[in-house]
Structure 1
Amino acid sequence: MSTLSAPASAEEAATRVAAWLAPRFDEMEALLARLVDIDSNSYDKAGVDRVGEAIANVLEADGIAVTRIPDATYGDIFRAEVPGRFGNAHALLMGHRDTVFPSGTVLSRPYSRRGDLAFGPGVCDMKSGLVANIFALRAIMAAGGLPFPVVALFTGDEEIGSPSGRRQIEVEAKGARAVFNTEPGRISGNVVTGRKGGCSFHIAVSGRAAHSGVNHKDGASAIEALARKIVKLHALTDYDAGITTNVGVVRGGITYNTVAGSAQAECDMRFDTLAQRSALIAEVERIVAHEEIPGTAATLTLRAGFPPLEEKHAAGLFALYREAARGIGFEVGGEHTGGCADSGFTASLGVPTLCGLGPVGGKAHTDEEFCRLDTLVPRTQALAAAICRLP
């Protein structure tokens, strides 16, 4: 791919990338179909890596350097970079290649299109966002580059909490001037200026089993102890403060006529700020540690979670992106969502972060998941132009 000489200004660079992207719809859709038609469940390392290899092939054909960072358990991480002319602090693009859909889904439900809507596993969450990142990099390269480097990180385990990807995300975010995460645009057309943080807990309660008819009083019901804890955990929900708790899975006992000797639960917790997270975890620990019934005891295991994207970390970038979008020809608002994403990791480091910048889509994680193809080019133009205008 031929590139132009370096643009004289940020505005010239923004104009160039938008013009380069304008006729690329067919290429973008073709790549979207290609990526969707690769099964890439979070635990299907081979499939997630095939998506990464497909991305690398496209970028390397344009002379964009791609580094593959091996991972023994989850998908390898692919890092791409368009160098800056002065080596200043980089802009960071992020996207995850994994989906929630089991391997084999593509055979029964491959990429399809109906009018301006595209369907298929992961079509909006977030393979269309990957396409946006790829073409934003290509456009910046074709336009002659920017004064600062632009790095894109394509990870492979976001849908399960980024147990491996988080470390590399935080490494790349430190020192970055801004982070753009191309999770799907909201169904309203808005981008995401705030996200809840979240974490999950496994609670295991032990009790003392007994025959419920012959010697009931000798037992100590783990189920009853757990039930009392659940009431207290659910009481932590405070909608006005943005806090929710939900025990969504409960298991326990062996038969109806046995006092339960064990019980387990899985709890989800969401919050708006890092300060809330610390206070809530301390309270959950207190609730679980308390002996509800003599003879019972409980342990708590904190599972992987995401920090929140607090709106104060998105405000400046949102203003920049909104102006870029207006230059392309569309208006966009900001929106807060209860869902978590990798953008929480970067925002929690204090790095300016904006999310939900991918093409607009909806019904993610379902068989009806869709992407609005008419947003594929303009959202990518706005993304690339916003990067060009970074101070």
Structure 2
Amino acid sequence: MTARVRRYVEHETPTGDAEALNALADLLVARYTELGGVARRVGEPTGDHVTADFPGSPGRADEAPLLFIGHHDTVWPKGQLAGPMPWQVTESAEHGTLAHGPGVFDMKSGLVVMETALEVAARAGVRHRPVRVVVVADEEIGSPTSSTLVRERAEGAFAALGFESPHPGGALKRGRRGSTRLRLNVHGRAAHAALDPEKGISAIDELVDQLVRLREVVGRHSRGVLCNVGTLSGGGKTNVVPEHASADIGLRFADAAVEGAVLAELTALTPVREGARVRTEILSSRPTWAFDGPDDPFSAAVRTAGQRLGQDITAEPAAGAADTNTAGSLGLPTLDGFGPLGAGAHALHERIVLSTLPGRAALVAAILAEL
């Protein structure tokens, strides 16, 4: 497993780098085919997604499949391996043997857990229902091209497992905040700021007022919304009334009803200034996956599978969003966090605890057997 993690990490795959992503996608397709799946690349200009279908065991081929969800893009640009984040294996007095590198924790090690579980189940002769796999290429920017694919793969599934990292300590993730990225675009009218200021409409002034409105909308739902204005752009010269301005905004939602209400207001904003135009563009949106307690039959089966291995399996809600938001929001029984233990997602100290890889793969294989 360590060797496979290293191989995937050493294929640097920044989101949007189609050539790099497709090179790793080819490896994944070959691996899933080797394991008995029917695998293919789903083409996108910014990098291909990967799907695979594994048939159920004799007598179970017609049962509803399990859906395995992952991604192969990372936040890191090329050059991290040769620079501040080389692949290396180190020893820690607290955690034992660690592996470091860009994407090792988020989430190339999770992909290795996924494929190893399928291999273990096949070697052990586990009689399991069919398995669908979807590995997307744009998760790190909100899955703008792959959300529809995830929805398609979720249709008719029995349950979904996500292979992102777990909580610190190993708890699985059940429930995630909704995450929406939107761009607020404002168009005004250019004019000379001294000779003809009254003929201009300042897009920047209009944007400032619209951001005040944004804060008012969010403030009415302060307990259920996180808001971050991440970028501002517009204008160019101090002697020209600016014609264009925009802001990119990140929103997180703990409640689906609040999510719907806030987005409805923000996509219906109207100009403050006569002649200005305001348009809200949704860049990506992952719906809220609400935590609905740990007592459903799927979670119980996962706990039972863990008990057979001597593992105490718990699940807690998570603040971050992922593609399991899409599956969970559809009402599909879903758990995430089947990757190994580690730390440092999106940070230079990204690492995994190598000794936890086999246990995570064994757990997923046991879940295949239990279900």
Q: TM-score, normalised by structure 2?
A: 0.89
Task: Indicate whether 1:112 and 2:85 are aligned.
Answer: no
How far apart are residue 141 of structure 1 and its match?
Answer: 0.9
CA offsets per residue over residues 243-264 of structure 1, 9 Å max, x none? 1222211112222343323211
Alpha-carbon separation, structure 1, partners of 2:370 and 2:82: 42
How far apart are residue 56 of structure 1 and its match?
Answer: 3.6
CA offsets per residue over residues 249-295 of structure 1, 9 Å max, x none? 11122223433232111111111233322211111023x32x21233
How far apart are residue 139 of structure 1 and its match?
Answer: 1.1
Tell me what 2:224 maps to.
242
Tell me what 2:158 maps to.
177
Give the conservation status (yes or no) of the 8 Å contact 2:29–2:50: no
The structure 2 residue matched to 1:92, chosen from 56, 67, 71, is: 67
The structure 2 residue matched to 1:70, chosen from 42, 51, 64, is: 42
Aligned length in residues: 360
Instruction: Out of 120-129 and 205-214, give the one that drifted further.
Output: 205-214
Instruction: Out of 213-222 and 94-103, give the one that drifted further.
Output: 213-222
The 3-state SS of whatever aligns with 1:303 is: strand
Tell me what 1:6 maps to.
none
Alpha carbons of 1:166 and 1:206: their partners in 2 closer, same or farther (altered >3 Å)?
closer
How far apart are residue 372 of structure 1 and its match?
Answer: 1.7
Alpha carbons of 1:152 and 1:203: their partners in 2 closer, same or farther (altered >3 Å)?
same
How is 1:316-335 mapped onto 2 (pairs within 5 angstroms)?
A: 316=296, 317-335=298-316
Give the conservation status (yes or no) of the 8 Å contact 2:228–2:251: yes
Alpha carbons of 1:368 and 1:144: their partners in 2 closer, same or farther (altered >3 Å)?
same
Give the conservation status (yes or no) of the 8 Å contact 2:48–2:137: yes
Tell me what 2:247 maps to.
265
* Aligned CA-pair RMSD: 2.2
Alpha-carbon separation, structure 2, partners of 1:360 and 1:196: 21
Alpha-carbon separation, structure 2, partners of 1:384 and 1:78: 19
Alpha carbons of 1:76 and 1:189: their partners in 2 closer, same or farther (altered >3 Å)?
closer
Give the conservation status (yes or no) of the 8 Å contact 1:236–1:245: no
Alpha-carbon separation, structure 1, partners of 2:295 and 2:21: 33
Give the conservation status (yes or no) of the 8 Å contact 2:218–2:262: no
Alpha carbons of 1:158 and 1:315: their partners in 2 closer, same or farther (altered >3 Å)?
farther
CA offsets per residue over residues 161-190 of structure 1, 9 Å max, x none? 223332332222111111000111122422
Tell me what 1:198 maps to.
179
Task: Indicate whether 1:311 and 2:291 are aligned.
Answer: yes
Alpha-carbon separation, structure 2, partners of 1:203 and 1:178: 36
The 3-state SS of whatever aligns with 1:198 is: strand
The structure 2 residue matched to 1:38, chosen from 1, 11, 17, is: 11
How far apart are residue 68 of structure 1 and its match?
Answer: 0.7
Give the conservation status (yes or no) of the 8 Å contact 1:174–1:349: no
Alpha-carbon separation, structure 2, partners of 1:194 and 1:30: 32
Give the conservation status (yes or no) of the 8 Å contact 1:193–1:355: yes
How far apart are residue 223 of structure 1 and its match?
Answer: 1.2
Alpha-carbon separation, structure 1, partners of 2:196 and 2:68: 63
Alpha-carbon separation, structure 1, partners of 2:233 and 2:368: 49
Q: Give the helix-richer structure, 1 or 2.
A: 1
Instruction: Out of 341-350 and 377-386, give the one that drifted further.
Output: 377-386
Q: TM-score, normalised by structure 1?
A: 0.85
How far apart are residue 314 of structure 1 and its match?
Answer: 6.7
Identity, in percent, stands at: 31
Alpha-carbon separation, structure 2, partners of 1:222 and 1:298: 9
How far apart are residue 240 of structure 1 and its match?
Answer: 6.0
How is 1:1-391 mapped onto 2 (pairs within 5 angstroms)?
A: 28-62=1-35, 64-73=36-45, 74-85=47-58, 86-87=60-61, 88-108=63-83, 109-115=85-91, 116-237=97-218, 241-286=223-268, 288-289=269-270, 291-312=271-292, 316=296, 317-390=298-371
Alpha-carbon separation, structure 2, partners of 1:162 and 1:134: 22
Alpha carbons of 1:202 and 1:240: their partners in 2 closer, same or farther (altered >3 Å)?
closer
Q: Which runs of 5+ in 2 are unaligned?
A: 92-96
Q: Which runs of 5+ in 1 are unaligned?
A: 1-27
Alpha-carbon separation, structure 2, partners of 1:251 and 1:72: 28
CA offsets per residue over residues 311-348 of structure 1, 9 Å max, x none? 12875333333333343334343222221111111112
Alpha carbons of 1:313 and 1:346: their partners in 2 closer, same or farther (altered >3 Å)?
farther
Instruction: Out of 275-284 and 159-168, give the one that drifted further.
Output: 159-168
How far apart are residue 157 of structure 1 and its match?
Answer: 2.2
Tell me what 2:94 maps to.
none
Give the conservation status (yes or no) of the 8 Å contact 2:224–2:258: no
Alpha-carbon separation, structure 1, partners of 2:290 and 2:48: 28
Give the conservation status (yes or no) of the 8 Å contact 2:29–2:41: no
Give the conservation status (yes or no) of the 8 Å contact 1:314–1:354: no
Give the conservation status (yes or no) of the 8 Å contact 1:84–1:150: no
Alpha carbons of 1:157 and 1:84: their partners in 2 closer, same or farther (altered >3 Å)?
farther
Alpha-carbon separation, structure 1, partners of 2:328 and 2:265: 24
CA offsets per residue over residues 14-70 of structure 1, 9 Å max, x none? xxxxxxxxxxxxxx11111111110112222232222233234344444x1232133
Alpha carbons of 1:297 and 1:150: their partners in 2 closer, same or farther (altered >3 Å)?
closer
Instruction: Out of 198-207 and 66-75, give the one that drifted further.
Output: 66-75
